[in-house]
A and B are shown apart, each in its own frame.
Chain A
Amino acid sequence: MFLGKFQLGEWLPLSLVTHNASGTPTLPDAAPTAKIVDSSGTTVDTINMPIGKSKAFITAGFEHIHRLDSDYSAGVYMIFYRWATGSGAFSGAQSQQFEIVAGGDSDGNVMGMTWMPKPQSADVVYQLDGGGLRAGRNPI
């Protein structure tokens, strides 16, 4: 399944319903893994998937939002999910695809900011959802 086009700094929604050999949604033996691989076959990230917040309504539904940080660049990526059920009796696999296009910023989105006047200058101090706290002035 193609998840769509994303840009660096965006959040990639990962979701998966694990199932047994007969295709019935079934909780796996351990957290399913999501391996994200670039077009050259290099593994960029491996994620242990958490259960979804709708656990009570969606059996074996796993959800995670994954930030596209500086480990990524423009190109096509594959996500390979793997899990096992029945104490290893069945090994499940599923794949998804997404593309990163130009125009983003791996440091992320501004999620908080303030004005910081100082004797020598004044800055805008802001936090990014990539975790950075920064101070900057108009570059132009």
Chain B
Amino acid sequence: MPQSLATGRSPFWPPSFVRSNAGDLFISNGIDEILRWNGTDATAHSAGIAAPATGVTVGSSGSGSITGTYYAYVRYGDADGNFSSLSPISSVHSPSSKAQIDYTNVPVSSESRVTKRQIFRNTNGQTTTFYLDTEISDNSTTTGSSTKTDTQLQASTELPILNPDGTVNANRFGEPPDHKAYIANHQDRLWFAGDVTYNQGSVQVTNGSSTVTGRGTAWTSSMADREFYVVGDSDRYVISSVNVGAQTLALTENYGGTTDLFALYAIRPDRDERQKVYFSEAGEPESVQSTNSFKIQEPDDADDVTGLMALGHFLFVLMNRHIYRINFAYDPTEDVSVHPVVFRGSLNNRTWVRVEDKAYMMDREGIHRFEGAHNGGVTVHISEPIQDYFRNNRINWRASRWFFASHSPGEEVVRFHVALGGQYLPKHALCYHYRHEAWWVESFPFQLGAACLAFIGNGQGNVLGSEFETIYAQGHGTADGVYNYSLNNTLRGTATASSLYSLTDSAASFPSTGLVNAPLAIVEGRGKGQVRRVTSVSGTTRLYIKTPWAIKPDTTSKYQLGAVPWVIKTGRYRFIDRDRYPVDEYNTRRAVLVAEPTENEAQVDIQTYLNHETVPNTNLVTLGTDCGVFTSGGQYVIDITHDPNNDGVFFSGYRHIEFSGTIIDPRFSDNWMILNLSGFQALDRVIVHEVTIDGVV
């Protein structure tokens, strides 16, 4: 069972993850509080520890040698050695010849990660350095005491209020900024940037009232202090507090616009915050003072921060149309510099992926290779072969916040997962082989929400997060979404009956687990090409599907569970004109397929498209008795099974098909052709080594 680290996180914006150098994981989304998980605790905790809101009361008792004027501070700590800033200072106490100092009203933290409280006291005559007087090793006791004299105090842990250069020391443990959506780890510091515009649902606003009521909203307490905008109103307001249960906002002033029961709105951090970058103290990823920040001054147009990227020796701030490089030598509070590098950007914090010392990234213009570690930062546009996807708005940009990139080192491929249809999570990927510089497009039977590299078995591979809390190991196994089955189970067969929502194979032995949500494809016979998703298995012979069959399978229909559809579609080639290119007497038009024979049944469908037609031609192929091509369901098919008929006549791996026609007069002839090969992979990997077309130029 997975371990539950947190609940109630917003689904509005994808999370940003980063590990600190100490190995702790930090998670932000700009809406909820930033979380930290150390890998061993049962749950994740809020990043940073809030300082005590009240001070401790100092008193004294008994007879002894403690005499002086004393103040005290309290701070919280956790088991990993992280601390909060200090509480307010206590009232002064001046004991004379007392045996011990007594502490009462020791504040208690509401945070479960706090396991101890430390009380610091000054020595008589100075208040610039405090010393650890006592540590309470729980988060419940409200009293404590100490018998330390000044001499003994000075031997204890010292805590200067300020550093020698005047900068803050004891109160440097500010909490990370929850309103920042993206985190990066760079040079032993965590960096925070970017914000989220929240506009889920609608609001009821009333003129003269400071209360705003949400409908269909999921506001969080972190939205306090952010700005509130109403569509159609020219003013902006500041949120003073959020009632999360009632989904109401309290504004710092009354709403001055027109009363509207059904107003559209937006919540966003203060305008000065939007291009501000925060950073933690070195080696203390949870210590972020409000002064640990700088603002990116844009030279040309206003752009929004979309991500953070540590690459090589630099940190880069990603925007929609710009990339900025962050430099510092010693301390970013003193010597940070910001340089615009290129005028390309990244759609979001997940649409870039690092490969060696380069980053491949997607913006609205296409996909580019950013070589930020070299030459001061250059970028190369690489997606020209698939630029139609960007030019013709084939990409569903409304879902762009969910797009992400993944890297498969074994394949040497980067994938940009995008939504081409109406669903919100991507089902397609624009794929780029960065050694061969080749592009193709993949579609997936499931929506995918995220990816990351992981060690699987003995190697590094890609894992994909998908629907219904399912995580797939990419490239492991050949059948999609099918697991926990044995060789005795049926994954391919012939239907014996069907209904709108089911398929029955009376000879099958379907496993009881491992098929739910797997794709079920009709690969031969009636209804060929339909792919549906399995919702349940009845007995061992019947599968139920989510959406009805458009064409009900019958006893001619062969099905495949876990089928992976594939397509090879060539470019448009021109037939040889005999008058201009007298290549041979017959001017043969032919396609040659060289494919790996498969152990289990597998076929390749052949289609041709003439000229600029969008419907495949059905009579172009010339069937000979020995060409190895047959027709199925009105389509030409090559069986690439090693022993297709179980008769010892093996598929050699070579087939060629001949096409009819010749060009007599180009004005009245077919001039161009596209060859389309397709099929379904399942138990065997389908490997096409070569496709050759003769008779074209």
Q: Across the interface, do B451 and A113 meet the contact criterion of CB distance under 8 Å?
A: yes
Q: Across the interface, do B216 and A133 meet the contact criterion of CB distance under 8 Å?
A: no
Indicate with 1 or 0, residue by residue over A93-131, a CB within 8 angstroms of chain B CB atoms.
000000001111101111111111111101111111111
Q: Across the interface, do B449 and A129 meet the contact criterion of CB distance under 8 Å?
A: yes
Q: Across the interface, do B4 and A103 meet the contact criterion of CB distance under 8 Å?
A: no
Q: Which of B264, B469, B517 contacts A110 (CB 8 A)?
A: B469
Q: How far apart are the CA atoms of A56 and B664 in the complex, in Å? A: 60
Q: Across the interface, do B7 and A113 meet the contact criterion of CB distance under 8 Å?
A: no
In the complex, what residues of A have CB within 8 A of residue B450's CB? 110-113, 126
Of the listed residues A110, A128, A138, the one surrounded by the most CB atoms of chain B closer than 10 A to its CB is A110
B49 interfacial by beta-carbon distance below 8 Å: no
B261 interfacial by beta-carbon distance below 8 Å: yes
B202 → A minimal CB distance (Å)? 4
Indicate with 1 or 0, residue by residue over B167-195, a CB within 8 angstroms of chain A CB atoms.
00000000000000000000000000000
In the complex, what residues of B have CB within 8 A of residue A116's CB? 19, 25, 37, 39
Stretch at the interface among B314-322, B530-538, B620-628: B530-538
Residues of B425-472 whose CB lies within 8 A of A: 425, 447, 449-456, 463, 465-471
Q: Across the interface, do B9 and A127 meet the contact criterion of CB distance under 8 Å?
A: yes
Contacts A102-B544, A115-B454, A118-B40 known; A110 to B449 CB distance under 8 Å? yes
Q: Across the interface, do A134 and B3 meet the contact criterion of CB distance under 8 Å?
A: yes
Q: Across the interface, do B5 and A109 meet the contact criterion of CB distance under 8 Å?
A: no
Contacts A103-B533, A132-B9 known; A112 to B17 CB distance under 8 Å? yes
Q: Across the interface, do A124 and B454 meet the contact criterion of CB distance under 8 Å?
A: yes
In the complex, what residues of A have CB within 8 A of residue B466's CB? 109-110
Q: Across the interface, do A133 and B468 meet the contact criterion of CB distance under 8 Å?
A: no
Of the listed residues B4, B11, B14, B15, the one surrounded by the most CB atoms of chain A closer than 10 A to its CB is B11
B44 interfacial by beta-carbon distance below 8 Å: yes
A27 interfacial by beta-carbon distance below 8 Å: yes
User: What would be 6 A-B contacts, judged by CB atoms less than 8 Å apart?
Assistant: A11-B424, A31-B215, A51-B264, A107-B468, A115-B452, A133-B4
Q: How far apart are the CA atoms of A103 and B551 in the complex, in Å? A: 23
A131 → B minimal CB distance (Å)? 5
A44 interfacial by beta-carbon distance below 8 Å: no
Q: Across the interface, do B9 and A31 meet the contact criterion of CB distance under 8 Å?
A: no
A4 → B minimal CB distance (Å)? 8
Tally of B interface residues using CB under 8 Å:
68
Q: Across the interface, do A118 and B23 meet the contact criterion of CB distance under 8 Å?
A: yes
Which residue in chain A gives the minimum CB-CB distance to B44? A133
In the complex, what residues of B have CB within 8 A of residue A125's CB? 5, 17, 25, 27, 37
Q: Which of A112, A135, A136 contacts B14 (CB 8 A)?
A: A112
Q: Across the interface, do A103 and B39 meet the contact criterion of CB distance under 8 Å?
A: no
Q: Across the interface, do B262 and A51 meet the contact criterion of CB distance under 8 Å?
A: yes
**Tier of interface size on chain A:** 35 or more
B676 → A minimal CB distance (Å)? 32
Q: Across the interface, do A114 and B17 meet the contact criterion of CB distance under 8 Å?
A: yes
B347 → A minimal CB distance (Å)? 15
Which residue in chain A gives the minimum CB-CB distance to B446? A109
Contacts A53-B264, A101-B535 known; A108 to B546 CB distance under 8 Å? no
Which residue in chain B gives the minimum CB-CB distance to A126? B465
Indicate with 1 or 0, residue by residue over B507-529, a CB within 8 angstroms of chain A CB atoms.
00000000011000000000000
Q: Across the interface, do B9 and A107 meet the contact criterion of CB distance under 8 Å?
A: no
B340 → A minimal CB distance (Å)? 29
A75 interfacial by beta-carbon distance below 8 Å: no
Residues of A28-68 whose CB lies within 8 A of B: 30-31, 47-51, 53, 55, 64, 67
In the complex, what residues of A have CB within 8 A of residue B217's CB? 50
Q: Across the interface, do A111 and B402 meet the contact criterion of CB distance under 8 Å?
A: yes
In the complex, what residues of A have CB within 8 A of residue B4's CB? 132-134
Q: Across the interface, do A48 and B215 meet the contact criterion of CB distance under 8 Å?
A: yes
Q: Across the interface, do A103 and B536 meet the contact criterion of CB distance under 8 Å?
A: yes
B333 interfacial by beta-carbon distance below 8 Å: no
Q: Across the interface, do A132 and B7 meet the contact criterion of CB distance under 8 Å?
A: yes
In the complex, what residues of A have CB within 8 A of residue B204's CB? 31
Contacts A112-B465, A124-B463, A125-B37 known; A102 to B449 CB distance under 8 Å? no
Q: How far apart are the CA atoms of A104 and B27 in the complex, in Å? A: 27
B571 interfacial by beta-carbon distance below 8 Å: no
Which residue in chain A gives the minimum CB-CB distance to B463? A124
Which residue in chain A gives the minimum CB-CB distance to B454? A115
Contacts A118-B23, A127-B15 known; A109 to B3 CB distance under 8 Å? no
B582 → A minimal CB distance (Å)? 60
Which residue in chain A gives the minimum CB-CB distance to B43? A133
Q: Across the interface, do B536 and A102 meet the contact criterion of CB distance under 8 Å?
A: yes
B2 interfacial by beta-carbon distance below 8 Å: yes
Which residue in chain A gives the minimum CB-CB distance to B215? A50
Contacts A118-B39, A133-B44 known; A105 to B468 CB distance under 8 Å? yes
Q: How far apart are the CA atoms of A50 and B212 in the complex, in Å? A: 14
In the complex, what residues of B have CB within 8 A of residue A64's CB? 201, 216
Q: How far apart are the CA atoms of A107 and B11 in the complex, in Å? A: 12
Which residue in chain B gives the minimum CB-CB distance to A129? B11
Apart from A102-B536, A113-B17, A126-B450, list 5 A-B contacts with CB within 8 A.
A102-B535, A110-B469, A111-B402, A123-B3, A125-B17
Q: Across the interface, do B262 and A55 meet the contact criterion of CB distance under 8 Å?
A: yes
Indicate with 1 or 0, residue by residue over B238-279, a CB within 8 angstroms of chain A CB atoms.
000000000000000000000001111000000000000000
Q: Which of A55, A101, A105, A127 contacts B27 (CB 8 A)?
A: A127
A-B pairs with lowest CB-CB distance, top 6: A110-B465, A136-B2, A50-B216, A103-B535, A114-B17, A51-B262
B418 interfacial by beta-carbon distance below 8 Å: no
B10 interfacial by beta-carbon distance below 8 Å: yes
In the complex, what residues of A have CB within 8 A of residue B468's CB? 7-9, 103-105, 107-109
A140 interfacial by beta-carbon distance below 8 Å: yes
Which residue in chain A gives the minimum CB-CB distance to B202? A50
In the complex, what residues of B have CB within 8 A of residue A133's CB? 4-7, 9, 15, 27, 35, 44
B8 interfacial by beta-carbon distance below 8 Å: yes
Contacts A101-B535, A111-B14, A113-B463 known; A128 to B471 CB distance under 8 Å? no
Q: Which of A102, A111, A127 contacts B516 (CB 8 A)?
A: A102
Indicate with 1 or 0, residue by residue over B366-390, a CB within 8 angstroms of chain A CB atoms.
0000000000000000000000000
B650 interfacial by beta-carbon distance below 8 Å: no
Q: Across the interface, do B9 and A131 meet the contact criterion of CB distance under 8 Å?
A: yes
Q: Across the interface, do A134 and B5 meet the contact criterion of CB distance under 8 Å?
A: yes
Q: How far apart are the CA atoms of A130 and B7 in the complex, in Å? A: 8
Contacts A9-B468, A48-B215, A134-B5 known; A111 to B10 CB distance under 8 Å? no
Q: How far apart are the CA atoms of A104 and B517 in the complex, in Å? A: 8
Q: Across the interface, do A140 and B484 meet the contact criterion of CB distance under 8 Å?
A: yes
Q: Across the interface, do A103 and B516 meet the contact criterion of CB distance under 8 Å?
A: yes
In the complex, what residues of B have CB within 8 A of residue A135's CB? 2-3, 5, 37
In the complex, what residues of B have CB within 8 A of residue A104's CB? 468
In the complex, what residues of A have CB within 8 A of residue B35's CB? 133
Q: Which of B9, B16, B37, B471 contacts A136 (CB 8 A)?
A: B471
Q: Across the interface, do A113 and B452 meet the contact criterion of CB distance under 8 Å?
A: yes
